[in-house]
Structure 1
């Protein structure tokens, strides 16, 4: 068996530890967005499955430097997924959620500040019913009433959470 010198092993362990501490890697890799001016609303991402568009704006207010909202894309859109409140859904890898996207938007007025939006996705657990003795997939009323409580896990869900990173800028 061949031994690895400790000087080579230590940097590899440090790199692995820093990658683990940074959290999971997002499914979608994207560069940092262009800097946005204070007061200008901008789209961050569209989620067509949930008929939602994420938009935000820097406010210039030290108490709330960035305003963020999920907006319905169209009244006629029929969602195939739900967009839920991240505070209530508690997205995270431990709860079955997958980090779908990481969006970074720097402020044009404050170079050291950026808004970071994490979009989480929870896959659906729906599957067709098992085949019965006649080879057909059937849904019985009594069985569907019993499983109605678990219906929320049958469609994919999305949640987004926003944080502001960096130092606040001085107000003039």
Structure 2
């Protein structure tokens, strides 16, 4: 009985994670890529974008990433924005979508940590009687002049954690 009380008090005394701090997508750490090998971190089809990363081997800038357009013909339904300018946070309406950890090959103590943030689209138009989103020709001219639905946005924050082995 006493042990049960101790365990229960330990459970309730543990701090709860901040609201929205848990990513929507939970995944294991990625396989360690070799230095200089470009690897895909994540594809975001609705933004027609792919995030690529590479361990450089340079102690001053050990990891580099880039957002690459997947196809010139792709019609994006979301925007990918610069995280430094957008400053994504839960308080700002952003959702932590994904948390990626990529260990460095030959140096597991150093890893790239990538946070993918998602800001949901603005308010969607109302659904019709059948529950579908429809745009009618006679109403489209009226809605085109009014406020438009803001597209969804994505941002990526990349940091290197841990101690270098060199």
Q: Could you say which TM-score interval applies, normalised by the shorter chain?
A: 0.7 to 0.9
Q: Point out the structure with the larger strand share.
A: 2
Alpha carbons 2:20, 2:96 under 8 Å: kept: no
The aligned counterpart of 1:12 is 11
Structure 1 residues 126-158: Cα deviation after superposition (integer angstroms, max 9, x where no partner): 322799xxxx856548953xx4xxx5x611111
SS of the aligned residue for 2:117 comes to strand
Contact preservation (8 Å) 1:43, 1:55: yes
In structure 2, runs of 5+ residues without a counterpart are 129-137
Count of aligned pairs between the two proteins? 154
RMSD: 2.6
Question: Is the counterpart of residue 30 in structure 1 residue 27 in structure 2?
Answer: yes
The aligned runs of 1:27-106 (5 Å cut-off) are 27-106=24-103
Spell out the pairing of 1:121-136 with structure 2 (5 A cutoff): 121-128=118-125
2: CA distance, partners of 1:101 / 1:161: 11
Question: TM-score, normalising length from structure 2?
Answer: 0.81
Query: Is residue 20–residue 95 contact of structure 2 (8 Å, CA) maintained in 1?
Result: no
Tell me, yes or no, if the aligned pair for 2:63 and 2:160 is still in contact at 8 Å: yes
1:159 aligns with 2:124: no
Separation in 1 of the partners of 2:90 and 2:119?
A: 10
Which 5+ residue runs of structure 1 have no aligned equivalent?
none
Q: Which structure: greater helix fraction?
A: 1
Superposition deviation, residue 36 in structure 1: 1.2
Deviations 1:6-34 (A, max 9, x none): 6234421343x1x5269711111111101
